[in-house]
Structure 1
């Protein structure tokens, strides 16, 4: 199965409609079976996950990443959250709040879903974590919480458990250690380029985020459904790393892996 994750940069940048066209074109090219969306929008009776899922006949889910969500005067009433696209029906979805003691305010969250894969329930977690250095304590607490979610014995079964996330940390940064102790970095398992970056300072839309720039901060992590089961990853790739019609789809590149279900 082909699994992808992409921070799609909400409606930022002033050209979100053209960017969404590029995002949709990229999804159509790579045809993922499972796609996690970070910084996806919702509003006007629809959401970005549903819009991207429709052309390929995929199933979709969306949750707010914070409550009540981002309020932008240019986009009133438009939510900010997490999305999931799936080749298989979505059996359940749950909004799981994450720690935020330092930052305070509305609670961030992860989307935990179960998919109706023919071989058994496929459990998927989609998340985005704290990025500001001054809230490093929250960042570490959130990755620990995600590790606990992913290793919940209630998710054990014949299928791997997947975490699709913008974790705002590279494998050599301490915030990622709780997850790397509990799960497999599928990029590494695929033998992919160790120098790859998903937040590239060369992009004109690159954010002011020194801790994350020019690092691989977007990840697909996995664990076997049960101890002793194989976890085979056949390849990994970046997508959305070239402009389409002169437009960069997002300030992040998408990450994809091909793995055994």
Structure 2
């Protein structure tokens, strides 16, 4: 099972249309079975998940994650999911935000019609600003609780595909590391890998806590106690320019799992 997560950087930057061409080309090259999209847009009667999924023959879903920037009225800011298998259900799950206030951010919880049974997938992005560190930790705790809910138990792993805005050595990730498997580490992949790279021209210089860290993650847990979780490999994608433009300010993370 070829699983990927990618923060696709909404419509930020002057070249978002060209960037989207690079995202589509990467999807075509890697052919994921499941792909979570963070910072995916909606508008003009469509959404980015549909635009990317339909040409690739993938099922698509999108939910709003939080409020879009004020100067882009009518363009949603959300989470997307692409799947080789039909998407049976989707649910928008609100996340804690007491410090920041305002509209509640959310995660996407989906159930996929995998041939071996229901496959539960969570797509999420968490708080990034240092001044809202308590929200950040609370959101990771909430995601850990959601992913380990016994209602999601079954024969297949439960997947969390997320931009968690923290590396595995940072305290915000402890609730998830205690509850789930960091598949990048389980695959024996490069521990020094980064997904938010300061070498990129579009790198977010105002995110010192996240820059030059692996902040995008595929976490998983066995479907029920006693089952094994087999990880065969992990890789980065979208780390080369397409038509002279990098597809996003993040690299995509991919993992090969045994379903």
* SS of structure 2 residue aligned to 1:206: coil
Q: CA deviation at 1:16?
A: 0.5
Within a 5 Å distance, the mapping from 1:78-97 to structure 2 comes to: 78-97=75-94
2:146 corresponds, among 145, 149, 155, to 149
The residue that corresponds to 1:251 in the other structure is 249
Separation in 2, partners of 1:192, 1:98: 30
Separation in 1, partners of 2:151, 2:221: 13
Separation in 1, partners of 2:63, 2:145: 20
Point out 4+ residue stretches in structure 1 off by more than 6 angstroms.
none
Separation in 1, partners of 2:163, 2:145: 17
Residues 71 and 77, structure 1, Cα contact 8 Å, conserved in 2: no
1:228 corresponds, among 221, 226, 241, to 226
RMSD between aligned residues: 0.6
Calculate the TM-score normalised by the size of structure 2. 0.99
TM-superposition CA deviations, 1:24-68 (whole Å, max 9, x none):
0001000000000000000100000001001121100000002xx
1:212 aligned to 2:240? no
The residue that corresponds to 1:111 in the other structure is 108
Q: Unpaired segments of 5 or more residues in structure 1?
A: none
Q: Unpaired segments of 5 or more residues in structure 2?
A: none
Separation in 1, partners of 2:175, 2:203: 27
Separation in 1, partners of 2:16, 2:70: 14
TM-superposition CA deviations, 1:200-221 (whole Å, max 9, x none):
0011100120000000000000
2:172 corresponds, among 175, 183, 193, to 175
TM-superposition CA deviations, 1:223-255 (whole Å, max 9, x none):
000111110010000000011111000000000
Aligned residues: 258
Calculate the TM-score normalised by the size of structure 1. 0.98
Q: CA deviation at 1:141?
A: 0.2
* SS of structure 1 residue aligned to 2:68: coil
The residue that corresponds to 2:158 in the other structure is 161
TM-superposition CA deviations, 1:170-214 (whole Å, max 9, x none):
000000000000000000010000000000001110012000000
The residue that corresponds to 2:25 in the other structure is 25
Q: CA deviation at 1:72?
A: 4.3
1:10 aligned to 2:10? yes
Separation in 1, partners of 2:65, 2:41: 10
Separation in 1, partners of 2:120, 2:89: 10
Separation in 2, partners of 1:227, 1:55: 38
Q: CA deviation at 1:76?
A: 2.6
Separation in 2, partners of 1:203, 1:15: 14
Q: CA deviation at 1:14?
A: 1.3
